[in-house]
Amino acid sequence: MPPRTTNRGFRVWAMHSWTRSAVADIAENPQRWPVIQSDIRRRLIHRFPYALFYRVDHDEIVVLAIAHLHRRPVYWIGRA
């Protein structure tokens, strides 16, 4: 049950919930989302201007960043 005491608390809970859902989706089918650069894929996070950037290394999923799509959207590129 989400904390409804503050609007911010609810947004944090919702962001966490949607991010967990995105990670579960990636784990279920990592090849589903588009390749945006080299071997890096992007999974958008529903209802928020964020994306989860990851790559598949052998049998492992490596999350490179959860990035805001409007504020410095490629700051994480050096991690690849």
3-state per-residue secondary structure call for the chain:
CCCCCCHHHHHHHHHHHHHHHHHHHHHHCCCCCCEEECCEEEEEECCCCEEEEEEEECCEEEEEEEEECCCCCCHHHHHC
pLDDT band at 59 (very low <50, low <70, confident <90, very high): confident
Q: Where are the domains of the chain?
A: 7-79
26 vs 79, more confident: 26
Q: Which CATH architecture has domain 7-79?
A: 2-Layer Sandwich (3.30)
pLDDT digits (tens, 9 = 90+) for 17-39: 778 888 899 999 999 999 998 89
Residues 46/63, Cβ–Cβ less than 8 Å: no
**pLDDT above 60: residue 63:** yes
CB atoms under 10 Å from CB of 53, counted, come to: 23
